[in-house]
Amino acid sequence: MMQMLELPWLHWGLLALCLFCLLLLLNIIVLRRKVTERTQHLRNSEQKLRAILDNAGALVYIKDTDFRYQYANAQAVGRLGVALGEVVGKTDEDLFGASAAEALRESDRLVFTRRERVEVEETTTIQDESRTYFTVKVPLFDGDGAVMGLCGYSTDITQLQRADQALRLAATIFESQEGMLIAGPDRRILHVNRALHRLTGYDDGALVGQAFSTLQSGRNDDAFYQEVWDCVAATGQWAGEMWINRKSGETYPAWVNIAVVRSPEGDITHYVSTQMDISERKAAEEEIRILAYYDSLTGLPNRRLMSDRLQRSINKSERTGMGGALLVVDLDNFKDLNDTLGHEVGDDLLRQVGARLEQCVRRIDTVARLGGDEFVLLLDGLNADSKLAAAEAERVARNVAHMLGQAFTLGDRSHHTSCSIGIALYAGDVHGPEELLKRGDLAMYEAKAQGRNTVRFFDPQIQHAVALRTELESDMREGIAAEQFVLHYQPQVAKGGRLVGAEALIRWDHPVRGRVFPDDFIGIAESTGLIVPLGAWLLRAACKQLAAWGRDAETAHLTLAVNVSARQFRHVHFVSELLDALRETGADPTLLKLELTESLLLDDAEIAIARMTELRGHGVRFSLDDFGTGYSSLTYLKRLPLDQLKIDQSFVRDLLTNANDAAIARTVVALAHSLDLAVIAEGVETEAQRAMLERFGCHVWQGYLFGRPAPAEEMLQKMPIPIT
């Protein structure tokens, strides 16, 4: 019974246990299902959050308090160019380098210490590409409220910065020194910068709403503006010179640019125009043109412009057969006026001459100044018949001579002058401008040779004479190279008949022409520049002779005078070449006497004085030759390092019969003594001349009385008195 009673209890216990297990199993199943559902939900939420962060348009990342990355979105990982696993756990130093990391950590520390949001601009460089970001950093807290890290949100603002800089630059450019305006598609002005207001004189805002044509000037016609806008329509821009109208009505030249701005669809939205005032440039261009083509003294066309017009006249003559004439006008004795009254007075005369010459020709003719006192008249469109053309040209030439023969007023004095005129005719097939100018010059020189104040036409025989002159020039070049030149010496004698020195005079022993004297070739040498190498040879030869005399006790005291032309003395290497010759020959520089003419002082007087002073420091002596015949400025005379004045032979020749010459000679001697200078007279041919000069106080002489120029040994042998 007892067993029977215990058996149901056991069954009920087992049944209860089974029920408990079943309920537990059901709870586990339900719980597992809830966990699965929650996990899936979390997964879905995480995927959504990651999708949001990866497409946030910014770099999103999380750092812990050790500055190590715990998370980075896809854009941040992409910017770094690595996988996510290569970012997590790394620091900024690992990714960007030490210097950049320190800058980034500075703002991180602010987040950690302030425990609040921080906004900052940051720049990072990866693979040489630098980008700028606007970054917002916020702190992350744990359950206890402690900072466990930060979350950063960085927006790339590189393009915005560049755009801002571009806008600032555009604004600066718009307010530049160039005038700028913006017009709408209807060409009405929308914006104007301050520079354009300054240029045009309009008040601020006065041009807004006005038509583009408001600034147009009547100096450009309607056809011009039509071409401008046609070009803008066809090419999208135009640039060129345009006359702009100011508010006052005044106009000014401007360099204008007009450009089109189009929409993406190709429609015109704006016109942008810039302009720059080119008044100064235009004035400078005009000044350059005047300097290039006009004579600065008289305002007449110069040689270049005259040659251009002459070529046009020649071309016209060849086409039409009409004649023309070139008149070369040269003032007579103009140098004397310059020397006596000064260059300012001479310039005044030249200006008046130019004005009178313009009154002698027609409007179609040209009056030009070639330089100095030489003018040219170009007579265009003369008769095709050469005789009639010659008559027309001669009539003009006679009128020119008459006009220039009238008195000129120069300051407070009246001045008379005359001119020599050469005429070269041309018609049909003729030579070029230079050949015609040459023919006119030759005719003018022939007019001067005929006594001046006359008119001469070009003669082919004159051309032949020029050809002979050219041949002589060629022979001179060969003669210098072949050393065909020799020196002769004329004695210089002191009181008591004592030989004190000589003057070296050049001669040319031509193999065919025979003996050629200086009067026949010195002028050519001066005009062609051959005087420089010829003078250099002469100085070296003179130094050799001086050195030879120095080796003989009887001649060691003799001085040697050498003429030096102004062109030779001004040569850049003159001083060095002379000092080289003295050093190489061993000649005593204190016995060398350079004879300079007063013409040397007409140009670059200061340079001449400086060179004389330099040579004087080496012992070289100086004599002023032909004193009284040229410039004779006492202002320069007292500054020159001179040792001697030389009385010109033109005063000695008529010394006994001409009281004026005697007075001049006496004055030169007195002046030399007052300046403590020695004095010598040249051209002494008679004892009476020598005696009078001695009475004046001149005690050194040179001339035929003592001997003609001869080779050195012959000069010494022919001296009628013993050398002491």
| Confidence band, pLDDT 50/70/90 cuts, at residue 358 | very high
| Confidence band, pLDDT 50/70/90 cuts, at residue 54 | low
pLDDT of 399:
93
Judging by DSSP bridges, how do beta strands 644-647 and 678-682 pair with one another?
A: parallel
- Residue by residue, DSSP assigns 231-290 as HHHHHSEEEEEEEEE-TTS-EEEEEEEEEEEE-TTS-EEEEEEEEEE-HHHHHHHHHHHH
The rounded distance, in Å, linking the Cα atoms of 544 and 540 is 6
pLDDT of 178:
77
Q: How far apart are the first and last CA of the chain?
A: 195
Tell which residue, 354, 352, 330, has the closest CA to residue 415: 352
Q: State the residue for tokens 């307010």.
A: 175
pLDDT of 83:
75
Lowest mean pLDDT: which of 25-39, 462-476, 612-626, 667-681? 25-39
| Confidence band, pLDDT 50/70/90 cuts, at residue 722 | very low
pLDDT of 98:
83
| Confidence band, pLDDT 50/70/90 cuts, at residue 290 | low
* Per-residue CA distances from 456 to 211, 366, 392, 465 (Å): 67, 20, 14, 16
Question: Amino acid identity of 486?
Answer: V
pLDDT digits (tens, 9 = 90+) for 574-610: 999 999 999 999 999 999 999 998 777 666 678 888 8
Q: Of the segments 153-162, 289-298, 307-316, which one has the largest average pLDDT value?
A: 307-316
| Confidence band, pLDDT 50/70/90 cuts, at residue 71 | confident
| Confidence band, pLDDT 50/70/90 cuts, at residue 1 | very low
Question: Amino acid identity of 459?
Answer: D
What's the mean pLDDT in 634-661?
A: 87
The answer to whether 200 touches 246, Cβ cutoff 8 Å, is yes
What's the mean pLDDT in 64-92?
A: 83
Q: Which two tokens stand for residue 482?
A: 């072949």
Lowest mean pLDDT: which of 170-184, 245-259, 695-709? 170-184
State yes or no: pLDDT of 49 exceeds 70: no
State yes or no: pLDDT of 4 exceeds 50: no
pLDDT of 2:
44
State yes or no: pLDDT of 362 exceeds 80: yes
State yes or no: pLDDT of 5 exceeds 80: no
| Whether pTM exceeds 0.75 | no
pLDDT of 77:
80
Q: State the residue for tokens 């135009």.
A: 238
pLDDT of 705:
93
What's the mean pLDDT in 239-246?
A: 88
Tell which residue, 263, 117, 258, has the closest CA to residue 187: 258
pLDDT of 221:
86
DSSP E strands, 413-459: 413-415, 419-427, 455-457
Burial bucket for residue 3 (CB in 10 Å: 0-12, 13-18, 19+)? exposed
What's the mean pLDDT in 388-399?
A: 88
State yes or no: pLDDT of 697 exceeds 60: yes
Over pLDDT 90: what percentage of the chain?
Answer: 36
